[in-house]
Amino acid sequence: MKAVEYTEYGSPDVLRVVDVDRPEPGPDEVLIAVRAVSVNGSDWEGLTGRPAYARIGGLRRPRRHVLGSDVAGTVVAVGADVTTFAPGDDVYADLLDRLGCFAELVCAPARSCAPLPDGMSFVEASAVPQAGVIALRGIVDRGRVRAGQRVLVNGAGGGAGTYAVQLAVLAGAEVTAVDTAHKADHLRSLGAAHVLDHRVDDWTRTGPYDLVLDLACYRPVGAIARGVARGGTYLVVGGAARSVLQVLLLGPLVGLAGRKRLRVLAVPLGVRHVGPLVELLQTGAVRTVVDRTFPLEQTAEALRHHGSGRSVGKVVVTVDPA
């Protein structure tokens, strides 16, 4: 089968389409014929080896040679102990703990898979897992957004950000979206009341906000606290390692004076956590934003487009069925 491999950290130029042996599922695994794989920030970090935490498990060279984790496809074989799926079933999964999805076939633990939601395409389903969990966790589970609150989403133009903006608007919040200027019209179309250009505007001076979901943290913790309202919450998911570490170590202390919760958001793994979002997608209350799709042979270009920061929503790699 074909797979997209890399053996050293670097730009998308280090990726190669190669022929590799067809994998065989273990007793508790299913073999999936890949139809769509969405590109995540974790793929970009794993490719470039930056920030530093992206090299855990492979300091000099990547330990796993095929990226890709949010996958949708069709089961073509099952292990001896699998009773929940059969060949021909359409499924989707989050395989962040093992990767390997930028390929024609991938093995996945049966417990990591779920049936493809009714009415959802392979492309849309592949876009949901990681981005959906982050948005649900940040806005609903931990953010607990309520009507009338002021909510800011930094990095709002990506996959998780576009979901987060819509979830906050649906809850009745006044949403400020932060990203690059060329995404402004699209973010307003999702319901954002205000849009800031991160290259010009300092969001920490435009608040204060009742909730900040920061998907691209690059500011010191003192400035972050300034942008959060008294009794408000700041949750960070990604960004510069130094800034995230500051929030982790100093956030609880810095936030004490104003009763502000400054925390790193813990995100669970697995499609079983995205059920509430899937229901909203099926009813049309929330929509998945897909910027572009690329064939498997152009995975390097898909990652390049994602890494440029110009994509709105998700970038997805598609694989034609054999």
Q: What is the pLDDT of residue 89?
A: 98
* Residues 170-175, mean pLDDT to the nearest whole number: 98
Q: What is the pLDDT of residue 241?
A: 86
What is the sign, positive or negative, of the torsion defined by CA atoms of 97, 100, 104, 107? negative
Among the ranges given (51-55, 119-123, 239-243), the one the predictor scored with the smallest mean pLDDT: 51-55
Q: What is the pLDDT of residue 6?
A: 98
Alpha carbon 313 to its chain centroid, in Å, reads: 10
Distance CA 212, CA 63 (A): 34
Summarised one tens digit per residue, pLDDT across range 85-115 is 999 999 999 999 999 999 999 999 999 999 9
Q: What is the mean pLDDT of the chain?
A: 96
Q: What is the pLDDT of residue 322?
A: 67
Summarised one tens digit per residue, pLDDT across range 113-145 is 999 999 999 999 999 999 999 999 999 999 999
Distance CA 317, CA 39 (A): 7
Q: Among all chains, which residue has been given the structure tokens 């849009």?
A: 195
Q: Is the pTM of this model over 0.75?
A: yes
144, 73, 140: which is closest to 106 by C-alpha? 73
